[in-house]
Amino acid sequence: MLLSFPGVTYPTAEKPTSVTYQFPYLRGVDKNDIPVPDSALAILAANRQIHNEAAKIFYQNDLVFSYPSHLQSFALNLETDRLQAIRSLTLFYKDHNEGGIHTIGVTLKLLHRMSGLKKFHLLVENHLVILRAYSVTALAPTTPPKIHGVSILFSLRGIPDIQVRDLGLEDCYASFAVPKFSRPSKPAVEQKVQMLKHFNHGLALAQQGVVVKELYEDANWPFHGTWPELGHAVCGEAVGCLCGSGEEVVEEVSEEETAGT
């Protein structure tokens, strides 16, 4: 289908990306002078019937936004029926504190208007990957509750696939390649991964109305002897959440590591 694309779609107000590839033989020509092909969305202007029947198809693609401001602009310019047609959304986490207001929070609140949403992934980069420190106090800022805006996700309902993911932690877990100034052990990496799985398990339960506030209010829960209970839900391999003690996460930094930093 013309408006349905394989893989992910990055909505943008820029010119169609095919512009620079249509005229590879032109040298020294300003790209702005090259004829611009019509967007695939131009078909919606054919007539009212096609517009009404096909408009929602585009918004059912797997939409990915690299910046919260892009998602804000996109959502604020859509009518309610198109917002409700959105099924899959991935957002790269970026935040700015402007006058005491975190911009990511403003963006995430727009998800309440997307009643048809079935998948939402919030991608952070290297927020949770710090695995060693001298104290729990030093590690607390690297826990899920310290990601601004996550409390808003617990107020959403009915999204079957909702996750907070840390791309740096995923890469570290997959290859156990570590940042230059960090030497985490395999158990420490696995502990962080399980911590995030437990958090996401609670987030999934919140979609059903079971909200465990401790998951997003207490930044130190990953370091407690036991993790917050998730109502009557049972953690286990079936949900990918293997709860355990957080005590082993805090490890002493060796003299060699201290010298390296």
Q: Which of 109-113, 144-148, 150-154 has the lowest mean pLDDT?
A: 144-148
pLDDT for the residue 190: 83
pLDDT, average across residues 19-47: 55
Where b means 16+ CB within 10 Å and e means fewer, 11-28 reads: eeeeebeeeeeeeeeeee
pLDDT of residue 217: 93
Asked whether 110 and 72 are in contact (CB, 8 A), the reply is: yes
- pLDDT at position 81, please? 87
Between 207 and 34, the more confident residue is 207
| Beta-ladder partners of 123 | 92, 165
Crossing angle between the packed helical segments 167-175 and 186-206, to the nearest 10 degrees:
140
Mean per-residue pLDDT for 197-226? 91
SS3 track for the chain = CCCCCCCEECCCCCCCCCHHHHCCCCCCCCHHHCCCCCCHHHHHHCCHHHHHHHHHHHCCCEEEECCHHHHHHHHHCCCHHHHCCCCEEEEECCCCEECCEEHHHHHHHHHHHCCCCCEEEEEECCCCCCCCCCCHHHHHHHCHHHCCCHHHHCCCCCCCEEEEEEHHHHHHHHHCCCCCCCCCCHHHHHHHHHHHHHHHHHHHHHCCCCCCCHHHHCCCHHHCCCCCCCCCCCCCHHHCCCCCCCHHHCCCCCHHHHHHC
Q: pLDDT tens-digit profile of 134-150? A: 455 555 667 899 899 99
pLDDT at 159: 96
CA dist 86 → 79, 151, 183, 252 (Å): 12, 22, 42, 47
- Other beta carbons within 10 angstroms of residue 228's beta carbon come to 18
pLDDT tens for residues 158-186?
Answer: 999 999 999 888 888 887 655 555 556 67
pLDDT for 252 equals 35
Percent pLDDT > 90 in the chain is 33
Q: Determine if the pTM surpasses 0.75.
A: no
Closest CA to 209 of 233, 234, 226: 233
Q: Residue 198's pLDDT band (boundaries 50, 70, 90)?
A: very high
Neighbours of 255 (CB within 10 A): 8
Least confident range from 47-51, 101-105, 125-129: namely 47-51
Asked whether residue 250 carries a pLDDT value surpassing 80, the answer given is no
The model's pLDDT over 42-62, given as tens digits with 9 standing for 90+, comes to 666 666 766 666 667 778 888
Residue 96 pLDDT: 86
Question: 223 pLDDT exceeds 50?
Answer: yes
State which of 7-16, 89-98, 220-229, 241-250 shows the largest mean pLDDT: 89-98
